[in-house]
Amino acid sequence: MKAFDLIDSVKIMYSAKQPLYIWGPPGVGKSSVVKQAADDLGIGLVDLRAVLLDPVDLRGLPRIDDNYKTSWTVPDFLPQEGKGILFLDELNSAPVLVQAACYQLILDRKIGDYILPEGWVVIAAGNRETDRAVTNRISSALANRFTHIEFEIDIEDFVKWAILSGIRKEVISFLRFRPMLLHNFDPSKNEKAFPTPRSWEFVSEILNQNPPRKLLNELLRGTVGEGAAAEFSGYLRVFENVPDINHLIKNKVRWIPPHDDPGLLYAVSQVAASKAKVFEIEQIMDFACLMPKEFEILTMRDSIKKNNAIVETKFFSNWAKENSELFF
């Protein structure tokens, strides 16, 4: 299931008060999906890394009350009131005894003397065994307590999120150009660094610091791996040839793009789309129409992701009718 569909599914499972387990490879944004769903619903989120817990952490420490009976102190990290999602991340990386401690909390909504408040739902996530991450097989008893969904990596969902999250234009346009490098993880190679949505977010943050070229190349290799870093470094040189889009749009300068340089066209398309909240939509459209049709369509798609109000304009309505077979 793709990211934005998964966000909606988390909301549905919250409303149904049913536990959900999200499966996916490392670095694809499983925790971000849950956080986004909680934010959309306007509810709380308690993020617990199950792998860091001991069984006693959930049940609480024993104590003897005034009647010499044993009771259990409730951990302060468990929610006590209100509404929200109790997120058990990396659940299948936790020791078997910790997983067992979760059984009652997930199904019966209580453990020891603790009762999960009515407005809270348990959502869990973990890496797949095939990803060669640190995992323990979850028992059938625990697995049967969840609805299971596999996280599907999708370039369009990533671009939509990236545009809204302020990810660098260089990163977005490069991944448009080379979508196979959005997530390129081979468990058999035992690589320390490899491309994932999370590592490309790190790349964006590194670029924000304007490091010198020599250091940047080393940092890229340490973030997304040797091959992806080499391609992205080359793409950055292409990006340097992007014309001054502000000048072209503002002054209605006709720019004839080189049709034999798709890398540059992806770069120009993304930069133009990033201006969707700065210039009038007809100005963006006039500029986009100078590019080959597929890049014109791409520019309009990404402009809408940047500024959804575009779809309400007369200019877009007319353009969409003329390009309905390609756009929709």
pLDDT value at residue 254: 73
Does 277 share its domain with 215? yes
Model confidence pLDDT, tens digit, residues 272-288: 888 887 677 788 888 88
pLDDT value at residue 39: 95
- Rounded-to-integer distance, Cα 250 and Cα 253, Å: 8
Q: How many CB atoms lie within 10 A of CB 67?
A: 6
Phi, psi (deg, nearest 5) at residue 83: -130, 150
- Can you read off the two tokens belonging to residue 244? 């001054």
Final residue belonging to a domain, choices 150, 183, 211: 150
Q: Structural domain of residue 43, as residue ranges?
A: 3-150
Does 127 share its domain with 193? no
Does 142 share its domain with 165? no
What mean pLDDT do residues 256-265 have? 78
Q: Quick one: DSSP state of residue 65?
A: -
161, 117 contact by CB (below 8 A): no
Final residue belonging to a domain, choices 95, 122, 150: 150
200, 182 contact by CB (below 8 A): yes
How does residue 220 score in pLDDT terms, banded at 50, 70 and 90? very high
The SS3 assignment for 57 reads helix
Does 195 share its domain with 67? no
Does 87 share its domain with 171? no
pLDDT value at residue 145: 85
Our CA angle for 212, 217, 220, nearest 5°, is: 115
**Top-confidence range, 213-222, 259-268, 297-306:** 213-222
Instruction: Label residue 188 exposed, middle or buried (CB < 10 Å: 0-12, 13-18, 19+).
Output: exposed
The torsion angle over the Cα atoms of residues 302, 307, 309 and 312, rounded to 10 degrees, is -20
Does 131 share its domain with 196? no
Give the rounded percent of residues in the chain with a pLDDT score beyond 90.
36
What mean pLDDT do residues 169-176 have? 93
Does 161 share its domain with 140? no
- Can you read off the two tokens belonging to residue 169? 């234009």
Does 54 share its domain with 41? yes
pLDDT at 134 exceeding the cut of 80: no
Which CATH number belongs to the domain containing residue 21 in this structure? 3.40.50.300
Does 176 share its domain with 307? yes
- Picking from 124, 158, 152, 134, the residue whose alpha carbon sits closest to that of residue 21 is 124
What mean pLDDT do residues 45-56 have? 83
**Top-confidence range, 185-189, 210-214, 215-219, 234-238:** 215-219
Does 216 share its domain with 162? yes
Q: How many domains does the chain have?
A: 2
What mean pLDDT do residues 252-268 have? 79
pLDDT at 208 exceeding the cut of 90: yes
Our CA angle for 170, 171, 173, nearest 5°, is: 65
What mean pLDDT do residues 286-300 have? 84
DSSP string, 277-302: TTS-HHHHHHHHTTS-HHHHHHHHHH
pLDDT at 135 exceeding the cut of 70: no
Final residue belonging to a domain, choices 150, 167, 201: 150
Does 291 share its domain with 316? yes
Average pLDDT, the chain: 85
Question: Over the range 197-214, which residues count as b (16 or more CB within 10 Å of their CB) and which as e?
Answer: bbbbbbbbebbeeeeeee
Does 296 share its domain with 219? yes
pLDDT value at residue 230: 93
Model confidence pLDDT, tens digit, residues 64-116: 777 777 777 777 888 989 999 999 988 888 888 888 778 878 888 888 778 88
- Can you read off the two tokens belonging to residue 131? 């990803």
